Chain A
Amino acid sequence: MDNRLVSQSFLGPDSDVTLAGLTAGIVGLCGGGSHLVHQLPLVGISKFVLADPDIVEDRNRNRLLGSTPADAEDASAKTAVAERVILSINPDAQVTACRSRWQEAVESLRRCDVIFGCVDSYRERDDLERFCRRFLIPYIDLGMDVHEAPGGYSISGQVVLSSPGGPCLWCLGILNEKRLAQEAGRYGKAGSRPQVVWPNGVLASLAVGLLVQLVCPWHGSPQLTACCEFDGNRHRVETNRLDTAANLRCAHFRGDEFGDQFFARG
């Protein structure tokens, strides 16, 4: 056991090897993603595929862990900041940094054993989950939002572990036609969306826990699917979405939609 990980040896005698061998994809490296690039190398994951097209801007710096004033001045790529953070924790880590939309990095993301999605829109979540299902990759979705509410604002968010064969974001009601239509209606009108650092930290920590229980279960009942909803006003994490969805047979993904659609045509 790697000395650095000896305090988590309860995860299993070979957990250091398992975690070091796993390739994690992270799509979106601002709020939630910037927490993940700190925690995942700390638990021992050493192979990463990162995708984000954006640069660091001052307006990101209330929540982008690891960024410095110089990153905003220099317009550093978020992938460069994430890679720097990972290598500062584990200099031997292997990082594939794709400064692009994830749709342009699919041939790198396909080799991931798990993909974390920290994307802004429901449409992107839908597309990313579809990609993961198509390539039999467990997908961990993080999302948070701040809404106007009577008397102030409401902070909420959720983390979903969506695995091939289990309930998906549609089954759980995270995605629905109404939300997609509302989002499409707002396209181009939205200003800067409200975001703060602490809910992202809560959600990212839950997401890391969901991955670790999946690959190094420290108890007898690892979960194939999980949904954690964060109420940032009541400071609680709970859900009943899974109670109704756990036994659903997912009908949102066709059984024959796997791999490259045109692989055989070269």
Chain B
Amino acid sequence: MIIFRSRSDLLDAVREDLHRPHAFAAERVGFLVCRAGRLAGGGIVLLAVGYDAVADEHYLDDPSVGAMMGPAAIRAAMQRAYNGGAEDLGIFHVHMHGHLGRTGFSEVDDRESRKFVPDFFNVAPGMPHGAVVLSLDQAVGLCWPTPGAMPAPIDRFASVGAPLKMWGRDDG
């Protein structure tokens, strides 16, 4: 069982940032910063504690995809994961699909995240890392729990606010 929990005001701020137009990229991307806890039975709860937008100048002009990050964007995210040598942080790449309800990873999303997410273990090997796709009101995600592990789907999301919203990959 992998649970992803975030305050709703953080998710609102992420959606607002991802909604901003970019000079040439068709969509924006960013990184959710996470802490984690162990669950009985071997699961993990991921706790979103911050968000780093990708700077405008860190996008590459590649019309074949919605958004292509340059090496500076990855470097900045890796520095965040390293956390100055203090406790490692989990990094979850995030982008948004502009519709309500259930969403999913496109083939490109899946392929690209499998390329760069494992690199975060080079600087923060003790934390899970992954990728999240938001819709306008839900999310799906993949989590690499340990170095060398295959990605596992995030089973359940909770957006903690008023209202408190929860959804899972097995719902409806």
On chain A, the number of residues with a Cβ less than 8 Å from chain B's Cβ atoms is: 35
Q: Is A256 an interface residue (CB 8 A)?
A: yes
Produce 1/0 per residue, A142-160, CB < 8 A to B: 0000000000000000000
User: Judging by beta carbons under 8 Å apart, are B163 and A215 in contact?
Assistant: yes
Produce 1/0 per residue, A82-113, CB < 8 A to B: 00000000000000100000000001101101
Report Cα–Cα, A189/B158, bound state, in Å. Answer: 43
Query: Which residues of chain B from 51 to 88 have a CB within 8 Å of any chain A CB?
Result: 87-88
A214-B49 CB under 8 A given contacts A264-B88, A264-B126: no
Residue of A nearest to B42 (CB): A107
CB neighbours (8 Å) of A256 from chain B are 49
Partner of A224, one of B39, B124, B161: B161
Produce 1/0 per residue, A198-220, CB < 8 A to B: 00000000000000001111000
A111-B126 CB under 8 A given contacts A214-B162, A259-B36: no
User: Judging by beta carbons under 8 Å apart, are A215 and B7 in contact?
Assistant: no
User: Judging by beta carbons under 8 Å apart, are B172 and A17 in contact?
Assistant: yes
With both chains docked as a complex, state the minimum distance between the C-beta of A236 and any C-beta of chain B, in angstroms. 25
Q: Is B5 an interface residue (CB 8 A)?
A: yes
Residue of B nearest to A21 (CB): B166
Is the interface on chain B under 10, 10 to 19, 20 to 34, or 35 or more residues?
A: 20 to 34
Number of A-B contacts (CB under 8 A): 95
Report Cα–Cα, A36/B161, bound state, in Å. Answer: 22
Q: Is B45 an interface residue (CB 8 A)?
A: yes
Query: Which residues of chain A from 116 to 160 have a CB within 8 Å of any chain B CB?
Result: 135-138
Q: Is A165 an interface residue (CB 8 A)?
A: yes
Report Cα–Cα, A222/B164, bound state, in Å. Answer: 9
Report Cα–Cα, A165/B6, bound state, in Å. Answer: 11
Q: Is A114 an interface residue (CB 8 A)?
A: yes
User: Judging by beta carbons under 8 Å apart, are B163 and A222 in contact?
Assistant: yes
Say what secondary structure dominates the interface of chain A.
loop
User: Judging by beta carbons under 8 Å apart, are A110 and B45 in contact?
Assistant: yes
Produce 1/0 per residue, B1-45, CB < 8 A to A: 101011101000000000000000000000000011111100101
Q: Is A263 an interface residue (CB 8 A)?
A: yes
Report Cα–Cα, A65/B171, bound state, in Å. Answer: 34
With both chains docked as a complex, state the minimum distance between the C-beta of B160 and any C-beta of chain A, in angstroms. 5
Partner of A258, one of B35, B43, B166, B172: B35
CB neighbours (8 Å) of B88 from chain A are 264
CB neighbours (8 Å) of B160 from chain A are 136-138, 163-165
With both chains docked as a complex, state the minimum distance between the C-beta of B119 and any C-beta of chain A, in angstroms. 17
Partner of A113, one of B9, B47, B164: B164
User: Judging by beta carbons under 8 Å apart, are A136 and B166 in contact?
Assistant: no
Q: Which residues of B contact A (CB under 8 A)?
A: 1, 3, 5-7, 9, 35-40, 43, 45, 47, 49, 87-88, 124, 126-127, 158, 160-166, 168, 171-172
